């Protein structure tokens, strides 16, 4: 079967490479040869082994009846959305790694695919090379999924790991992640948690069987995390990770993306570098953890090509449709409950401690010997709602004994 690739970037070129390299075993598994017939990109790649296949003319792809499957690795919404719809109208299946497009326009695109009798598959959109979309929608289909907790962004996990292990700065670690092809074109999406947010929205939509809108998920990134935060976490026998959580609460869904303090006994604490891990809790299976390389050329290409093989083998249309609920299906963020690590810089430590206890009641202090920081108090709070927490933090900020609330980082339950 012939396919075309839209976008010859990190993932697109990886797809061509995997198909070239493993063509025989892919053919054995798919039951027929899979050939890349065209690659659409507006750039020139004179030194690429695929240069003969590259075209700038979309009609050579969409107008070619021999091309049955389109791999969309353009990313973003604009052109990627337009070409995805164009492929569906031309009766072509689409496989993508584009989490932004799936998270934002999944309901419409899945419906158009189904109406046109073709598939829209996106295994590579979450967790890079880790199989998670298909296990969640098929292998765990007998379960009621109660929750998902995961590290879903390779770039930020790589940055946090490098900072902690090598005492290196945030920006050096980021440059390194970009060099390795892990980061998004604009790394803000990684660093500020948007990429993780889109991924947890996709997983939640599958797990809870209705569309979870990423714009409704409270999202914070890691740009405010410092080495000092990591040292306090270490003093708590913990590490800091960017964690996505999502769970069913009654008939609503709670989801959040934020840096959290993770105790070293938690299975996610040991997930390092570019690796991702996703813990799925189901009523029949209990907890199942999926672990592997969450970003990078070949791991992501591996997931894309697996979707292509699936279509070639089964050649049937997507049955999945994500319904949007008419009423709000999200738990308001302010109602969710959390405990936190709070760092304050004090004008006077004794007065500040008394004020902290006036506001929070009894707290547990965390002490860490951090060079250059001697005016701070760090403590962990009891669990409380987010609204309650932000009111109390507001009160602390207004106190004379306190110079500044330096950081507030949530604590993940074991
Ligand atoms: N920028 C993403 C990450 C790529 O670092 O996880 C894989 O989705």
pLDDT tens digits along 174-196: 998 999 889 887 899 999 999 99
Cβ atoms within 10 Å of 73's Cβ, excluding its own:
27
pLDDT of residue 43: 96
Residue to mutate (ligand 1; options 154, 161, 222; most atoms within 8 A of CB): 154
Phi, then psi, of 60 in degrees rounded to 5? -65, -20
The Å distance, Cα 193 to ligand 1 centre, comes to 11
Nearest atom within ligand 1 for CA of residue 189? 1
Catalytic residue selected from 92, 99, 162, 199: 199
Residue with tokens 């073709």: 118
Mutate to test the pocket of ligand 1, among 174, 183, 191, 303 (most ligand atoms within 8 A of CB): 183
CB of 307 sitting under 6 A from ligand 1: no
Ligand 1 atom with the shortest distance to the CA of 153: 6
> Which residue matches tokens 């997507």?
318
CB 96 less than 6 A from any atom of ligand 1: no
Q: Whose CA is nearest to atom 7 of ligand 1?
A: 295
Which of 194, 221, 295 for a ligand 1 pocket mutation test, highest count of atoms within 8 Å of Cβ?
295
Position 293 scores a pLDDT of 95
Collapsed DSSP state (helix, strand, coil) of residue 144: coil
Q: pTM of the entire structure?
A: 0.96
User: For residue 30, with 0-12 CB atoms within 10 Å meaning exposed, 13-18 middle and 19 or more buried, which class applies?
Assistant: middle
Residue 199 a catalytic site member:
yes
Residue 232 φ then ψ, to 5° = -65, -40
Residues with Cβ within 8 Å of 14's Cβ and at least 6 positions away in sequence, in order, are 297, 298, 300, 301, 304
Query: How far apart are the CA of 171 and the centre of ligand 1, in A?
Result: 17
Sign of CA dihedral 229, 233, 239, 244: negative
- Predicted local confidence at residue 317, as pLDDT: 75
Q: Which two tokens stand for residue 186?
A: 């604009």
Token reading at 100: 């932004």
Within 8 A by CB and 6+ apart from 235, the residues are 366, 367, 368
CB neighbours (10 Å) of residue 51? 12
What is the C-alpha to C-alpha distance for residues 109 and 318, in angstroms, rounded to an integer?
A: 11
DSSP 3-state of 145: strand
d(CA 197, CA 32): 37
Closest atom of ligand 1 to CA, residue 187: 1
Q: What is the pLDDT of residue 185?
A: 79
Name the closest-CA residue to atom 4, ligand 1.
295
CA separation for the pair 298, 157 (Å, rounded): 18
Counting Cα atoms < 13 Å in the Cβ hemisphere of 96 gives 27
| CA separation for the pair 257, 151 (Å, rounded) | 10
- pLDDT beneath 70: ranges in the chain: none
């Amino acid at each position: 079967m012939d396919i075309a690739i839209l976008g010859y970037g990190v993932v697109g070129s990886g797809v061509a490479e995997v198909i070239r390299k493993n063509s025989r075993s892919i053919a054995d598994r798919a039951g027929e040869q899979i050939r890349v017939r065209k690659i659409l990109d507006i750039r020139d790649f004179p030194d690429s082994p695929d240069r003969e296949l590259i075209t700038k003319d979309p009609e050579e792809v969409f107008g070619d009846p021999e091309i049955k499957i389109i791999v969309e690795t353009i990313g973003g919404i604009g052109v990627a959305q337009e070409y995805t719809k164009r492929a569906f109208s031309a009766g072509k299946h689409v496989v993508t790694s584009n989490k932004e497009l799936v998270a934002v326009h999944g309901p419409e695109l899945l419906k158009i695919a189904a109406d046109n009798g073709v598939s829209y598959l996106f295994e590579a959109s979450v967790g890079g090379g880790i199989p998670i979309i298909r296990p969640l929608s098929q292998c765990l289909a007998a379960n009621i999924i109660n929750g998902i907790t995961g590290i879903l962004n390779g770039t930020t996990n790589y940055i946090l790991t490098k900072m902690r292990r090598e005492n290196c700065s945030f920006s050096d670690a980021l440059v390194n992640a970009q060099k390795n092809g892990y980061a998004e074109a604009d790394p803000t999406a990684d660093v500020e948690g948007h990429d993780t947010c889109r991924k947890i929205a996709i997983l939640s939509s599958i797990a809870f069987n209705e569309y979870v809108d990423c714009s409704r998920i409270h999202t914070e990134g890691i740009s405010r995390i410092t080495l000092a935060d990591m040292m306090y976490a270490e003093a708590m026998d913990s590490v800091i990770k960017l964690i996505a959580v999502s769970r069913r609460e009654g008939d609503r869904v709670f989801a959040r993306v934020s840096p959290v303090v993770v105790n070293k006994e938690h299975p996610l604490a040991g997930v390092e570098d570019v690796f991702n891990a996703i813990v799925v809790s189901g009523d029949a299976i209990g907890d199942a953890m999926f672990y592997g390389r969450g970003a990078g050329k070949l791991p992501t290409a591996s997931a894309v090509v697996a979707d292509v093989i699936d279509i070639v083998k089964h050649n049937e249309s997507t049955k999945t449709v994500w319904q949007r609920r008419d009423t709000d299906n999200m738990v308001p963020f302010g109602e969710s409950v959390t405990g936190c690590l709070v760092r304050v810089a004090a004008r006077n430590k004794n007065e500040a401690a008394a004020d902290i206890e006036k506001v929070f009641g009894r707290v547990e202090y965390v002490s860490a010997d951090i060079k250059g920081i001697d005016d701070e108090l760090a403590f962990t709070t009891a669990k409380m709602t987010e609204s309650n927490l932000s009111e109390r933090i507001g009160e602390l900020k207004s106190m004379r004994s306190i110079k500044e609330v330096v950081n507030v980082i949530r604590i993940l339950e074991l």
